[in-house]
Structure 1
Amino acid sequence: MDRLKALGRLLPRVAAAVAAGAMLGFAFQPHDLPWLTIVAVPLFLAALHGISMKAGFLVGAGFGITYYAVLVPWLSVIGGDAAIALAVLEGLFYAVFGLFATQVLKLRLWPLWIPCLWVATEFATASVPFGGFPWGRLAWAFSDGSLGKLAAYVGIPGLSFVVAFVGVLVYAVLRRGTALRMRAVALVAGLAIVFGSALIHLSLAGDGKSVTTAMVQGNVPGKGLEFLGRARTVTRNHLQATLDLQKEIQAGTVKKPDLVIWPENSTDIDPYKDDETRADIEEAVKAVDVPILVGAVTEGPGPNERQTAGIVWDPATGPGQRYAKRHPVPFGEYIPFRNQLLPYIHRLEMIGAQTVPGVGPGVMPIRGVTYGDVICFELAYDNVIQDVVKGGAQVLIVQTNNATYGGTGQPEQQFAITRMRAIETGRTILIASTSGISGVIRPDGSVEHKSAQFTRDVYVANVPLKDGHTLATTLGGWPQWVLTALGLLGLVVAMVERRRTRGDKTPPPPATGSTKEREKVPA
């Protein structure tokens, strides 16, 4: 009976956490309601306040699973079970957050410890398992918000800290029992952060040099998984779009680019081994008479293995520099525990050969300009971006293929992440997608061009080059490591305090022996 009563008291908190998780999911694209973050975070913390660690785990799980169910429903294109499995897996990280946050909230400096613990949780989701899934970071919601500008100074982890901190400040103002002085300080600090960020101006200027590039979106013959198996059509779509671009160049309606960018999977047939695919690429390259960065799937390095790569194809020397994707998608491009799972999950056979990650960043010097090539989902990984910027990239390129997820909201989420990367690095980002969204993002995160989905789109842009660094790229991974360490330290302090408090409440052991014997024991 007592357990049923306890469960009855807990259910409203779980319901509040579920509501908070749903609101946080709606903060992101395609819904784009970032202000919901400062509602969802306080509501989640209110649900965790004053409950046991076990209850905190359950409340955190309700929050996290709902959050990811709302954030990534597009994974149901692969299968409803895949979407559920991902939501449960990622939700468990927030269950652990809830487990420990119940104790951290008791500390005197909880308004600082909690945002650090949130960053530690995001760091964990971005790292494990199988390389992590950094799609649910608070920072990604602010590509259009004034808070997003702070990414140029504190990076993506630092921005997530700021967003969580603002949510914590809102909770401090509303929390029952908070001293009036504390509420006043929290209110002033929150307003200062929000309105102060609105005063930040990010420069659009480069270092006085520029480059002209063309992004080619040739489109695909179908949506979802329908485009699979139509590789030649996709390549010829990009060939034809490039030939039409050359006609416009000859007519003088567009400027001749220095580089043409084809998207990821613009050819799924290895151009090194297939004569027809090679001929299509060479026809396009000779027509425009400038290098084309081709997104290709190549065979090897081992049997039944492949790589997703960007290959610089020069009109004079042919294929040259090559960057292989470093973060292939588990269960999308390769199968962990392949030999063990394939006999039981036959649907995984659709993935085909195992994608092998590349080694080294996509730093590509092409005709006097250094590009940083990033392929699709891996733009969400901090180390990929940091490596190309440290390697001297003056402009960033994202080659992507979102055809599987067209019309589901995933392309909009990825585009928002790309905008945040432009702010963080202070560099222009050029996006080429097979079916959308392609475009050009300026160094302040504003959009110069954004294509529609499932249509052909060719855009020529003259963009600035930049050699300098923002404070965020100078600091690199330090904000994340420091904030994560502080979050873990807060956790340790909370657990030590919990143990000390429980020790103080433990009654002394009962006395034994006679009164005379007890009197012999020294005080």
Structure 2
Amino acid sequence: MSVGVRGRRWAVRGLALLFGCLLALAFPAVDAWWLGWVGLVPLVLLFGRAGSYGEAAWRSSLAALGFFLTLFQWLLPHVGILALVVGVVAGVLWVPFGLATHRLLREPSAARVALAVVVLPSVWVSVEALRSWEGLGGAWGLLGLTQWQVRPVLAVAALGGVWLLSFVLVAVNVGLAAVFLPGAGRAARLIGGGLVVVLAAFAFGYGLLRPEPVVTGNVRVVGVQPGVVYGGDARFAAHLELTRRAAGLGQNVVVWGESSVPFDPARRPDVAARLAQAAATVGSDVLVNVDARATDGRIMKTTQQYGPGGLAGMYEKRRLVPFGEYVPLRLLLGKVLQGTEIAKEDRAPGRDPAILRVGGVRIGPLISYESIFPDMRRELVRLHADITVVQSSLTSFDGTWAQPQQASAEAVRAVESGRSAVLVVLNGTSAAFDAQGRRLAWMPPDSHGIFVVDVPLYQEITPYVRWGDWVPVTASAITAIAIALLLAHTARARPGEGAATVRPRRRGS
């Protein structure tokens, strides 16, 4: 291979890396949401015209590397040597999509374009669902989350969750790319453009025609956000002082953020007494978050509900942050990761969900990392939660994209679940959304104090709550069928044809 050809090849790979970085700007804090609709188009073109499967793999891996390192740049300073692992894993994630794109669109006939608009989004959603496993870091950076402010498109989440939003966005990108693909005939371009119109009409039409859910009541919530306060006693005192401001506001509940109480009230009677006194003073229950060693010796994070009579309810965090709250294979990895900000001691996970009752309102509590998992919100609604409340703290990522990313995702969670969502953060971005995804409250990291929000209550059961993760299941089935058909076609092909099918192509290299 000549130096000139090699240089052009790496220049194109560099473009793939750049376009991957640009797609990450669709998420908060930049919030260029429209990139969710068009940001994949240049990548689909690059993958489809790669010239060989190997080149498609190179381009897709570099695009993924650019996307994930840009989107999660706030995480890298905290993981040390794990950054290399993150980079390798990130680079692999888009390779299946890149290979599938090259297979279907290297010779873009009308039939192949129509098939690509179904198969490629299925591959994408299947990979998103796989990487959303809690042990891999959870459901951050899903493409559908970019539409958190775009009503009525956001309403699609009530039908199929964030997964259906991602599917629609990828399908539109593929259809648009087909319009511009070199070598595509008129029929292929018409199919691609026509499907774009149909999908966009579905996304906007569903939201416009979907009736608003009926409001059955409301609950007044006071959130407490003191900002960064160093020292456990000082942090506890700051929360108590801000809570006193809620007296006379007519709230139903006061909510503190994650790790707001760094000692176990069960071992500190004085702390339990002060929490009960605070509830009596403000005239409502107080939800605090305890991050401390319990009486059985385990360190746990718990939501604890205090009324004037003392402890009234509790929830134990079930899904823990890998490396942040526990270390997988600690005996092996603990020594390798010395000097990083990994958890020094594993926290213990809880087992069961909980519903906390505040008067006649049923609150479904979650803690920080758990907020990004759609299934946990759906589970709480099935347990008859009237609203969901998340307690969080992003002190380690102060001033980074992590804070608006977490807060904005609450809009999607609210629409998925059909329940208003409230996020209260110790230091970060607190927010509240109704079941339509309308913003009720937004308190950025540089704002400290309390916020008051009247949260509407709903009883509607959304299709997503009723049917569950039918989109990733269907997408995985389509992906499996496509792989099976490809293998069957390869097995039937004559040896010469099979070789021709996979031989690297010069065009576009």
Could you tell me the TM-score, scaled by structure 1's length? 0.87
What fraction of aligned residue pairs are identical, expressed as a percent?
A: 23
Match of 1:44 in 2: 43
Alignment-mate amino acid for residue 150 of structure 2? G
**Contact residue 105 and residue 114 of structure 1 kept, 8 A:** no
Change (3 A) 1:123 1:301: farther
1:407-486 matches, cutoff 5 A? 407-486=399-478
**Contact residue 325 and residue 342 of structure 2 kept, 8 A:** no
Indicate whether 1:114 and 2:106 are aligned: no
Q: Distance in 1 between matches of 2:103 and 2:52?
A: 8
Match of 2:507 in 1: none
Q: Could you say which structure has the larger radius of gyration?
A: 1
TM-superposed CA distance for 1:469, in Å, is 1.0
Higher mean C-alpha displacement, 437-446 vs 339-348:
339-348
**Contact residue 137 and residue 322 of structure 2 kept, 8 A:** no
**Contact residue 116 and residue 486 of structure 1 kept, 8 A:** yes
SS in 1 for 2:40: helix
**Structure 1 segments unaligned to the other structure (5+ residues):** 222-226, 508-523
Q: Distance in 2 between matches of 1:124 and 1:394?
A: 30
Change (3 A) 1:143 1:83: farther
Match of 2:237 in 1: 236
**Contact residue 331 and residue 348 of structure 1 kept, 8 A:** no
1:173 paired residue among 174, 179, 192:
179
**Contact residue 267 and residue 296 of structure 1 kept, 8 A:** yes
Change (3 A) 1:34 1:462: closer
Change (3 A) 1:442 1:282: same
Could you tell me the TM-score, scaled by structure 2's length? 0.89
Match of 1:21 in 2: 20
**Contact residue 206 and residue 464 of structure 1 kept, 8 A:** no
SS in 2 for 1:396: strand
Indicate whether 1:263 and 2:257 are aligned: yes
1:283-432 matches, cutoff 5 A? 283-300=277-294, 303=297, 305-316=298-309, 318-348=310-340, 351-432=343-424
Aligned length, in residue pairs: 489
Change (3 A) 1:299 1:348: farther
TM-superposed CA distance for 1:484, in Å, is 1.8
Change (3 A) 1:313 1:266: same
**Contact residue 219 and residue 234 of structure 1 kept, 8 A:** no
Q: What CA deviation, in whole Å up to 9, does each residue of 1:351-385 have, x standing for no partner?
A: 23311222122433332211111211222112211
Match of 2:505 in 1: none
TM-superposed CA distance for 1:12, in Å, is 3.7
TM-superposed CA distance for 1:214, in Å, is 1.5
SS in 1 for 2:39: helix
Match of 2:228 in 1: 220
Q: Distance in 1 between matches of 2:145 and 2:84?
A: 22
**Contact residue 235 and residue 280 of structure 1 kept, 8 A:** no
Higher mean C-alpha displacement, 405-414 vs 104-113:
104-113
TM-superposed CA distance for 1:125, in Å, is 0.9
Alignment-mate amino acid for residue 143 of structure 1? W
Match of 1:516 in 2: none
TM-superposed CA distance for 1:432, in Å, is 1.0
**Structure 2 segments unaligned to the other structure (5+ residues):** 500-509
Match of 2:146 in 1: 141
Change (3 A) 1:54 1:133: farther
Alignment-mate amino acid for residue 28 of structure 2? Q
Alignment-mate amino acid for residue 243 of structure 1? R
SS in 2 for 1:398: strand
Alignment-mate amino acid for residue 246 of structure 2? L
Change (3 A) 1:502 1:392: farther
Match of 1:30 in 2: 29
Q: Distance in 2 between matches of 1:448 and 1:38?
A: 26
Change (3 A) 1:259 1:203: farther
Change (3 A) 1:244 1:236: same
What RMSD over aligned residues (CA atoms) do the two structures have, in Å? 2.5
Alignment-mate amino acid for residue 343 of structure 1? K
